[in-house]
Amino acid sequence: MSLSSRIERIQQQQQQAAQGGEPPRLEPSSRAVVTLPAGAPEQLAAREVWMRDIRRRLQVEVVNDSNSLFKGAEGNDLRPQVEGIVDRFLSLNSLALTRDERIRLVEEVIAEVTGLGPLEPLLQDETITEVMVNGPDHIYIERNGKIQRVQTSFLNDDHVLRIIDRIITPLGRRIDQTSPRVDARLPDGSRVNCIIEPLSLIGPVITIRKFAARPYTVEDLVRFGTATAEMFDFLRACVEARLNIFVSGGTGSGKTTTLNVISAFVPEEERIVTIEDAAELQLRQEHVITLEARPANLEGSGEITTRDLLRNSLHMRPDRIIVGECRGGEALDMIQAMTVGQEGSLSTGHANSSQDMLRRLETMILMSGYDLPLRSIREQIASAVDLIVHTARLGDGSRKIVNITEVYGIEDDQILTQDIFEFTQTGVGERGKILGTLKPTGVRPTFMPKFQANGIVLPAGDFGIPPEDPANPVKTRIGKGRSIGIESGDPALAPRITIGLGKAVVAGGMVYVSSVGPVVPETGRLAGETIRVQAAQCIRNLEERLEAAGSSMDRIVWANWCLRDPAEFEPFSEEWIKSFPGDAPVGQGTLMPPQQRRVGFRISIGVIAEA
């Protein structure tokens, strides 16, 4: 007999008693009253098993009859009704419970009808950061970075599916055999992923990444040891200076939490557009537009991807674009947005290190469907991304920002990076706690002048970053992203170039002149940035070396030119043949060595001439 049928029978018996009939009699139960004293661990374990059995029997009754029992019941009207049902169930089965056990049963029934059933108490526990359901009988949680199993369970697969449906239905999403996976969110912003058969072979699987009821602040993360106050002061200055930032890290390393905290540094007056698969960012600014991707409907149409939203956001006059996570081709659109006006944009990505994040960006851009050369992709990344904040979950379960890495240029088709802050492990303490320090590396980033240009006053000590040495000024990008060189400003502060001066040797009636670069002899610095200006300076320097060695340009019999970019051969050649009224000497071209690239050379020339 179902619980609702039993309740109806009791109510009839109570009416008969009220009219003078016999007092109501409870149905006999096969289960006798059990009262186990609280004492020995064995007795406590036995009572817990017994309570789990009671909970499961009551759960079966409630799940089967919840629609009829609680139809129309809302809010405060629900608790009295649930308490009555629990009391009748205990009476019908001659069960003796303590007051606390009864209250817990009532709460579980309410959670079953109005919440997420067995998951509800886990979601209410603020110490739990992740809930994982592996089929109806295996539920795990993450607490303090460690995974452990709990004794809570569902009745069967249908019970789990009912809870999944309760999560996704308000969002207009679906899960079935044709679409067996779904991303969703809870009302508090917690992220949910569900996957069912035929993709899951162990039954329905639910993974819930819980968010704190109160968004974490800088003070919280400093208290947790995630980063130092000095590091967050540095990141605040970077956000206010409109640097483009990626937060990278592995699964569960704290990327989204870190992005939430960093995004709080965006000035209140700016217009922010956030784009996510499932909305989970918790921005505190007032002028925020939140966009969420939409999956396809039952007919397979109507899908709106993150990439679609990112393209649309460019027409919404954003000051900043924040993409919850780049997973595929949208990385190309994100990189392009960062280079066409949306400076100061933020995003996250899965990677094991800052360098891996750059390689993943390359891969994701290739996934966009455009056949772009790798060199072009790397130049765009180096031009767009200024900073990578890398997070990690350490062996003791703690989460930390382990690197803050600057992307400052490209050389030999390789993206150049340098760590500004890093975590250094020093040992292992009690209970396996990892010990270490978070501190500056002693490298001064190339974008420091941007702070001053944006009116940002740095604290005393510049976050522990060493001061600039006038004799060796910081190098920064020329033409943003293509190369590195001395930042434009007072040329007197630039160091003298000591390579590419050329050396002439006379032997066997021939003059051998080694690599001559585009260096102005009077200043010891580059003649300019373009290939034509540098080629003209190289030729003038070469003429002087030959004349000093007793030769001349018309006696050159063989030449070797090194080009930074082979595509610049034509403008170089036009300058080169101006020195030869007749036929130019025989020669060959080679790629420029790294030392010359680092100082900004685009061309250097070496020759053999008659003495």
pLDDT of residue 351: 93
The three-state secondary structure class of 535 is helix
Task: Give the pLDDT band of residue 386 (cuts 50, 70, 90).
Answer: very high
pLDDT(363) > 90: yes
b/e burial code for range 72-102 (CB count within 10 A of at least 16 → b) = eeeeeeeeeebbebbebbbebbebebeeebb
Q: What is the mean pLDDT of residues 2-24?
A: 47
Under 8 Å between Cβ of 113 and 86: no
pLDDT of residue 153: 84
pLDDT of residue 246: 95
Q: What is the mean pLDDT of residues 372-400?
A: 90
138-146: long-range contacts at Cβ-Cβ below 8 A with a sequence spacing of 24 or more?
Answer: 138/202, 142/252, 144/397, 145/393, 145/396, 145/397, 145/398, 145/399, 146/397
Q: Could you read off the pLDDT of 148-173 as tens digits, one per residue?
A: 999 888 888 988 998 899 899 888 88
The three-state secondary structure class of 412 is coil
Q: What is the mean pLDDT of residues 273-287?
A: 86
User: In CATH, what is the architecture of 218-464?
Assistant: 3-Layer(aba) Sandwich (3.40)
How many of the other CB atoms lie within 10 Å of CB of 140?
15
User: In CATH, what is the architecture of 504-610?
Assistant: 2-Layer Sandwich (3.30)
Pairing relationship of beta strands 272-276 and 288-292 according to DSSP bridges: parallel
Give the percent of the chain with pLDDT over 90.
31
Q: Could you read off the pLDDT of 296-341 as tens digits, one per residue?
A: 776 777 889 888 998 899 889 899 999 988 988 889 989 988 887 7
Q: Report the chain's mean pLDDT, rounded to a whole number.
A: 81
Q: What is the mean pLDDT of residues 358-384?
A: 90
Same fold for the pair 218-464 and 504-610: no
Amino acid making up residue 259: L
pLDDT of residue 154: 86
In a 13 Å sphere around the CA of 288, the CA atoms on its Cβ side amount to 19
Task: Give the pLDDT band of residue 406 (cuts 50, 70, 90).
Answer: very high
Under 8 Å between Cβ of 221 and 261: yes
Q: What are phi and psi of 147, to 5 degrees?
A: -95, 135
* Residues 73, 569: Cα–Cα separation, whole Å: 81
Q: Could you read off the pLDDT of 217-243 as tens digits, one per residue?
A: 899 999 988 999 889 999 999 999 999
Under 8 Å between Cβ of 47 and 101: no
Q: Could you read off the pLDDT of 177-216 as tens digits, one per residue?
A: 888 999 888 888 788 999 999 999 999 999 998 877 778 8
pLDDT(29) > 50: no
pLDDT of residue 9: 52
Looking at the domain 121-209, which fold is it?
Beta-Lactamase (3.30.450)
Under 8 Å between Cβ of 192 and 167: yes
Domain ranges for the chain, please list them.
3-114, 121-209, 218-464, 504-610
* Residues 380, 338: Cα–Cα separation, whole Å: 10
Q: What is the mean pLDDT of residues 139-149?
A: 89
Residue 35, classified by CB atoms within 10 Å of its CB into exposed (0-12), middle (13-18) or buried (19+), is exposed
pLDDT(28) > 70: no
Q: Could you read off the pLDDT of 487-543 as tens digits, one per residue?
A: 444 444 455 677 888 889 999 889 999 889 999 888 888 888 889 999 999 999 999
Q: DSSP alpha helices (H): ranges in 178-299? A: 218-224, 229-240, 255-263
